[in-house]
Each structure stands twice: as structure tokens, then as C-alpha cells.
Amino acid sequence: MSQPGSLFVSPLARLSLSRPLRLPPMRPLTVDSLNPAVRSVQYAVRGELAIKAEEHRVRLKENGADHGLPFDRVISSNIGNPQQKGLDQPPITFVRQVAALMEWPDLAKLAPQVFPKDVLARAKELHEETGSIGAYSHSQGVPFIRQNVARFISDRDGYPSNPNHIFLTTGASAGVSLLISMLISKPKKSGVLIPIPQYPLYTATLAQCSGAAIPYHLDEPAEWSTSVDEIRAAINKAVQDGIEPRALVIINPGNPTGALLNKETQAEVVKLCEEHSLVLLADEVYQSNLHRQATHPFTSFKKVVRDLNSPVPLVSFHSISKGVTGECGRRGGYFECTNLSDDVIAMMYKMVSVTLCPPLQGQIGVDCLVRPPKQGEESYPLWKEETDRIHKALAERTATMSARLNKLPGVSCVDSPGALYLYPRIEIPEKAIAAAKAAGKEPDAFYALALLDATGICVVPGSGFGQKEGEYHYRLTCLCPGVDEYVGKLEKFHLEFTKQYS
């Protein structure tokens, strides 16, 4: 034992002092050492095209008139992001006024004359339920807001909705990711049926969870309709390949196609899910983006399931990012569970508790989505004017763009009845296909990169959404103002590209 005041040196320390340990050199963290599932994730909407578009945007900003590009601005038509710079869809005043008062309640005292009476009342009511939006909420979302969502669903469909079966989420994407992660019980042997073309969230999430994407093709000549026979064939092939289908994804209205399912097809889909014990995942975030509502109305899968008295497990998703709200950055959404047992709901609650709660401002946005101003309230006239203007502009742009694209040689484009996009099919000359292969690119990605470099317009190639062999598409939003100039650039580029490679 050491004496008082002496320096004690442990045997291990004495050993290290007399003979320094030789440790192997530290291995660097490399891509190859990461989870293989992460390496296989692809998300085309913010992929190579979006990265290059941002490089062009920085070049324009930093070099002024000496930028050396054949355009003066980048148009990010690759993503449904209505309020981004360049698209500049104005926010709905009612939503922002409520948000401002929730962010700083003292505004109600400092500038009461600025805010309509119904906005003041709404903010006061919400504040009493939530307290400070800087605090965590219930992990499933503020109970009062979930009650309002349930009332919205009941009014829409004519059937009751249980607030305890509703989860507020960080945008619809978070809900989709949660459900897929819970359903893939046998990695590489469990799969989810997804439409082709599809929103890349689904393939990316399945890759992350090591699940299998089971594709079923939509029918482009029939306005991108959904064929139950096509889904059944995809199920049979998956089973033959040793994959167990667990769920079926329907995007309605479609992304990227904008297609709407009719009630007869929806009923067939529900019966197919019964037959094969599939969970139905209904992505309905574009339900209010309807351009021809008289001939192409929206019907929720919740209503169809209840009309049929079906036992099919259904999870329906909605979001504040789309519609006319366009509050993508607030990250607000919800999903409702139908025909799911209490113990499964409890497991979902456990999983969402891990991330504590969705953002409070996103939850406030959801409340504004499902409880807009009513006729007779002070905010209603402005809200009606703003929402009508956005609907009208989107419908007119969609019709104009599809009509003009269809006049181009080698281009065909379904006039989408819903959502925010068009998905034109393009014929690419053989010389361009050869040049693309030489450059290590998919032909439609090669086309889209050339379009970006020539015009500043960023689109998403169809290879990022899925398409049939030998077919080529791209997706672009119908959110861009100045539609004549915008489409004019697309037309000019296509004609020049085709001539160059003919």
C-alpha cells in the first residue's frame, strides 16, 4: 500500500510506462462500413438533378452578370414545394395569423386590431389546450387537435372517427415510414406493393428497412388508372419469388401521375386486400388538389371500407404540405387507423413515443387544415378568395401545360385531374440513348440534366419513379408562375435536343 502523500501508480500504468502499447491504426469510417440498407436508399426527388440545380443557383448568386449560364434563374420544378423561392405561392393568411399568435401570444394584446376576431378566438382556444408551443405535446399529438381531425374525417365520409386512432405526425412521410418499418417483419422476405410510377419515399423506406418493393404498373393509356388484375399478378409473382406481401400502397390522387381512382376500382382494391390479408396504406395527401371535381371527385378509402363493411386494416395519410396550404416546411400531417386492434395501436404509440412528439407548429397547421374559417366568420371572405385563386391557377396551369406538351413531336402527356404534377412521356432518339449510356446515365436522366443546363428548369427523370422498360418520362410541378415562358422553355429545349441527336 502506498504511503500518505506518495504517488500511487497502478500495475497496468507501470506496464504501459515501461512498454508502450502498440494499437492498430484507427480505421476510417467509410461508406462500405455503413449499414448496407442505408447504402441502397435512393431518393430521386432530391437526387443528382436537385444537387446540380443548387450548384447553378449558387453560381448565379455569387457571380452576378458573369455567371456564364444560358439562364438567369433556376426553377425547382422537381418537388411539390409551393412556397419555395421562384414558385412563391403565398401562404394562407388565416394559417399564418394563427401561427403568429401561437408563437407569441402577447401579439393579441399588442396588436389586437390586426387580427380578425375568429383568429384571436382560435389562438386563445388552442393556447389553452397546448400551452407553450415550445413544450412537448402528447406523443400521439395534442388530444384536442386529434378530436378536430376526427370531426373533419366524420364530416367528410359520413362515418365516425376515433381520435385515439389518429396520430399527428411530422408530415405524412413520417407516418408512412413508421408503418412500413412496423410491417416488414421478415427483412428481404416481406414486401409492400407499390404503384409504378411511385413516389420515391416508398422504395427508399423499404430499402432502409430491408424490405422488398413489389411493383404493380399503372395504365398510362387509360389515364394512369389502377388495374386490380395488375396488382393480383404482382402478388402472385412475389409469392413465387418467396416474398410475403404485407401491404398495398395506393396514392390517390396519384404522385407523379395525378390520377384519381373511381369508387368502383376502390371497392375492387379493398376486396383484393381482404382476399390476400393485406394492410391498405392510402396516401391521400392530394385529396383537395382537384382540377375537375365535377367529373373526377375524390372519395376516401375510409368511406369505401365503411360502405363495404370491410374488415381490411386501413391506414390513411394526409398532410399540410399539399392542397392549397403548401406549408411543407412546418412538417405537419396525420394518419388514421381503421380496423386495427388496440394492441397494434398501442405498439404504434410506443414507437412514436421514441421521437417524443411531432412539431407543435405542424400540429397547429393540421388544426387549421381541418378547421378552416366558416362562412359568416370574419376570416372567411379572405380565406375563400385565397384558396379559390390557388385552385384556379393550378387547374389552369395544368391544362395549359398538358395541352402544349401534347403538341410537341415525341411527347405525350396525360392531363392530370389531380395533384400538383404532370408526368409527360418523351421519345428519346437512339443517338441520345447511346450518349447517355456512354456517360453512365439513364436516358431520361441524361435528358433532364441537359434540360437543366440549358434552361435552369429542374425536373425529376421517370427512372426515379419507375417506368416500363424502354419508356422515358419526367415529372414537373404545375406550380410555376409565368406558365407561358416556362412551357416555352420546355418546348424549345425538346425541339433542339431532338434535332441535335437525330
| CA 196 – CA 213 distance, rounded (Å) | 10
DSSP state for residue 225 in the 8-state scheme: B
Per-residue CA distances from 126 to 57, 122, 382 (Å): 40, 6, 22
pLDDT of residue 43: 55
**At which residue does the C-alpha cell 422504395 appear?**
203
C-alpha cell at 479: 406550380
**DSSP secondary structure letters along 191-222:** EEEEEES--THHHHHHHHTTPEEEEEE-BGGG
Residue 24 DSSP class: P
Residue in this structure with the C-alpha cell 376516401, named with its chain if needed? 300
Q: Are 252 and 265 in contact (CB under 8 A)?
A: no
List the grid coordinates of 111: 396588436
- Predicted local confidence at residue 80, as pLDDT: 84
Are residues 377 and 389 in contact, defined by beta-carbon separation less than 8 angstroms?
no
- Tell me whether strands 333-338 and 314-319 are parallel, antiparallel or unpaired: antiparallel
Query: Can you give the length of the chain in residues?
Result: 502
Q: Give the pLDDT of residue 20.
A: 63
CA distances 482 to 149, 250, 475, Å, are 36, 33, 18
Q: Following DSSP, what letter does each residue of 389-404 receive, concatenated? A: HHHHHHHHHHHHHHHH
DSSP conformation letters of 104-158: -TTHHHH-GGGS-HHHHHHHHHHHHHH--TTS---TT--HHHHHHHHHHHHHHHS
User: For position 37, what pLDDT does the model report?
Assistant: 66
C-alpha cell, 463: 427512372
Q: Which residues pair with 169 in a beta bridge?
A: 333
HSE-CB of 258 using CA atoms within 13 angstroms: 30
Residue 425, phi then psi, degrees to nearest 5: -95, 135
The 10s digit of each residue's pLDDT in 106-152 is: 998 888 888 999 999 999 999 999 989 899 898 899 999 999 999 99
Encoded amino acid at 196, one letter: I
Q: What is the pLDDT of residues 8-37, one digit of tens each?
A: 556 555 555 556 667 777 777 767 766 666
Number of Cβ within a 10 Å radius of residue 381: 12
Q: What is the pLDDT of residue 363?
A: 95
Written as one string, the DSSP assignment of 338-400 is ES--HHHHHHHHHHHHTT----HHHHHHHHHHHSPPPTTSTTHHHHHHHHHHHHHHHHHHHHH
Q: What is the mean pLDDT of each run of 10 residues along the chain (502 residues)?
A: 54 56 73 67 66 87 83 85 84 96 91 90 94 90 96 97 96 90 82 90 85 92 94 95 94 92 96 96 95 90 97 96 91 96 92 90 96 96 96 92 94 92 93 94 92 92 87 90 87 94 90
**pLDDT (0 to 100) of residue 163:** 97
**Which pLDDT score, from 0 to 100, does residue 41 have?**
62
Q: What is the predicted pLDDT for the residue at 186?
A: 74
- Integer-rounded Cα Rg, in Å, for the chain is 26
Give CA–CA dist 194/203, Å, rounded. 8
CA nearest neighbour of 225 among 471, 425, 416? 416
Q: Pick from 409, 476, 479, 421: which is nearest to 448 by CA?
A: 476
Cell output for 459 = 425536373
Q: What is the pTM of this model?
A: 0.89
Domains of the chain, CATH where assigned: 44-89+383-500 (3.90.1150.10), 136-370 (3.40.640.10)
pLDDT score at 311: 96
Q: How high is the pLDDT of residue 27?
A: 74
SS3 251: strand
